[in-house]
Amino acid sequence: MDKWTELHTAFSVARLGTISAAANALNVHRATVIRHINSLESELDTKLFFRHARGYSLTEAGEDMLTTATIVDKHLQKLRGLSRQVTTISGNLAISSREVVEKVLLRAVGAFKNKHSRATVSLQTEQTATDLETRRADISIHEGEAPTDLDHVVLPFVRAQFGLYAHQDYLKQHGIPQTIEDLAKLHYIALTEDKRVDVFERWLQLEGHTPHIVLRSNSLLTAVEAIKTGIGVGFCPNDFVKNDPDIFSVWPQQDEWCVNYWIVTHMDAHRSAKVQAFVEILRGLGFLGRSIPTL
């Protein structure tokens, strides 16, 4: 006999006071209840109940059993609640994303859909952080400094290391820069409407030079394609070009070229089952921990 089942039977008798009441609650025969109790007492080699005409009352050992069984029952109820929550997650999970982290997010979306087939996901690429007060998104990806709004829950997500890259054909034509002065002579591809623009362009300006920008785009993917086409040099995440044999780094990477990304939710939305489920998926993939992984 399963000792968990016997313990649950004894717990029911202890709470309800009679064999009949426990049998009705458990939907079993009275003889089954008695057999479970006898088996458990035999296993523990102690009496858990005093038998009398009005029912069953607890011995001292039975009181200890009730304390333990109550703790076990609370945990089982919690697990049942989680199980029900998992099977009933549905509706749409709206995520406001950034191009830099979408490969990671798509891994999480795949795992989320495998586990919660009744849910749908809307993944909207944005150039700026979504205002969560509008409720247009359940989850928003922020970059740079961590948001400080008291109504938001902010979780560290990933860190993207950017580099300054160019196609080999561009470098053959214009040469590999050796000095800051050489860098200032190159043609730059930059992003618009993005705080990263300030980070990278300011780095050159601090050296006393204004970069010669020949193309701006509001899309990081377009900027990367422009680099690969040989239009000029540009900043992009290392992860985007690491397997391209024709793309070369043209300058040693700097600490300030590293950008942090954050998972941000409104406090109200964060408590929802769908957001909690997605957050757990991300944790299971190794994100949202104290150490922020670098892409």
pLDDT in tens, 21-46: 887 777 778 888 888 888 888 888 88
Q: Examine residue 268 and state whether it is found in any structural domain, yes or no.
A: no
Question: Structural domain tally of the chain?
Answer: 1
Residue 78 pLDDT level (bands cut at 50, 70, 90):
low
Within a domain: 17:
yes
Is position 103 within any domain?
no
Query: Does the pLDDT value for residue 84 go beyond 80?
Result: no
More confident call, 56 vs 214: 214
- Identify the pLDDT of residue 38: 87
Q: Look at residue 1 in the predicted model and tell me its pLDDT.
A: 43
Selection from 88, 133, 271 nearest residue 279 by Cα: 271
Do 246 and 166 touch, CB atoms closer than 8 A?
A: no
pLDDT for res 198? 57
Rounded Cα distance, 265 and 259, in Å: 19
Q: Provide the pLDDT confidence category of residue 54 given band limits of 50, 70 and 90.
A: confident
Range of the domain at 74: 3-88
Q: What is the CATH number of the domain that holds 49?
A: 1.10.10.10
* Residue 47, in any domain of the structure: yes
Q: Is residue 199 part of a domain?
A: no
- List the single range of 128-142, 147-161, 205-219, 258-272 with lowest mean pLDDT: 128-142
Q: How far apart are CA 207 and CA 209, in angstroms?
A: 6
Report whether 167 contacts 230 (CB < 8 A).
yes
Residue 105 has pLDDT above 60, yes or no: yes
- The answer to whether 58 touches 103, Cβ cutoff 8 Å, is no
Structural domain includes residue 188: no
DSSP structural state of residue 6: H
Give the model's pLDDT for residue 113: 92
pTM: 0.64
Percent of the chain with pLDDT over 70: 88
Among 131, 123, 128, which residue's Cα sits nearest to residue 144? Answer: 128
Domain contains 144: no
Residue 64 lies in a domain: yes
**Overall average pLDDT of the 167-171 stretch:** 96
